[in-house]
Amino acid sequence: MSALGRSLHAEWTKARTLRSTAWLAAFVVVAMIGLSLAITGTLRIDDCSGGCRPDPVKLSLAGVRLAQIGVVVLGVLAVSGEYATRTITPTLGAVPRRGMVVAAKLAVITTVALVAAVVGVVGALLTARVVLRHRGFTAAAGYPQLPLLDDLTQRAAVGTVLYLVLLGMLSAGVALLVRDTAGSLVVVLSLLFLGPVVAMFVSDLAWQERLRRFSPMDAGLAIQATRDLAALPVAAWPGMALLGGYAVAAVVAGAAAFRWRDA
């Protein structure tokens, strides 16, 4: 087995034997499907008698705002957990090439996040379609559902999966920099939620839009919209590119710190 193969096997063994990995993956799936059920299940066709136009795809995938916390914790724990238990020292003894250690950790984190995200997104979309139909949102009532193979629906689904995978990378990169579980969680969650929360209390509309445009969460999740696209603070793929920039910057900075600092 090659050195990279051994490193991947070691990281996968560590992730698989941690009970938190399975629980966090399950949390992502349950949050996606559960919130999809809760949100669409409380919609009433009577409330839209005035002609409201809900975005069924975006509502179906709204659970990502809760599910992302599971991915953040997963990415942080995969890195900072080794510093807390000091198992980082034997890890580097077995695999001295630190770049390979980082690559193996990212591969495992993104794979777990990818699998959980795909299951959660597909489950959320299918659940919401059934629920919305039973709540009266049918083509006959003037609310046709987009086919699952529709371009906008596919973009929203793939984009949501990509959002969670990039978030796992971002979390791992921050954890490499901070090397502390609580501190890393504070940094990542602040990065995600601070901009949108502050924007709620800013009266200047221009500043509201700026805060939302450069928030990794609002920018990344713009890809879920299938209606009123012109009203988004940032277009779908540019928003995802912005989140990707945050993730790459965190990973590069974290990998550089990991390479030059003592274990």
Write the pLDDT tens digit of every residue in 86-107: 888 888 887 778 889 999 999 9
CB 113 within 8 A of CB 74: yes
189 has a pLDDT exceeding 60: yes
Contact in structure between 128 and 148 (CB atoms under 8 Å): no
Q: pLDDT tens-digit profile of 119-139? A: 999 999 999 888 888 877 766
pTM above 0.95, yes or no: no
Amino acid letter, residue 145:
Q
Considering the chain, what is the average pLDDT of its residues?
89
Residues 6+ apart with CB under 8 A from 1: 9
Tokens of 171: 């979390």
Q: What is the pLDDT of residues 127-170, one digit of tens each?
A: 988 888 887 776 666 666 767 778 899 999 999 999 999 999 99
pLDDT tens digits, 214-242? 999 999 999 999 888 888 889 999 999 99
Q: Are 68 and 167 in contact (CB under 8 A)?
A: yes
Residue 209: its pLDDT value, please?
A: 87
Burial class (CB in 10 A: 0-12, 13-18, 19+), 1: exposed
| Amino acid at site 42 | T
By CB neighbour count within 10 A (0-12 exposed, 13-18 middle, 19+ buried), where does 144 fall?
Answer: exposed
Domain residue limits, the chain: 3-260
CB burial class (10 A; 0-12, 13-18, 19+) of residue 246?
Answer: buried
The dihedral through the CA atoms of 178, 108, 166, 62 has a sign that is negative
Token pair belonging to 33: 């499907």
Examine the pLDDT at 49 and tell me if it is beyond 60: no
CA distance between the termini of the chain: 26
**Quick one: pLDDT at residue 48?**
63
Decide if pLDDT at 211 tops 70.
Answer: yes
More confident residue, 16 or 123: 123
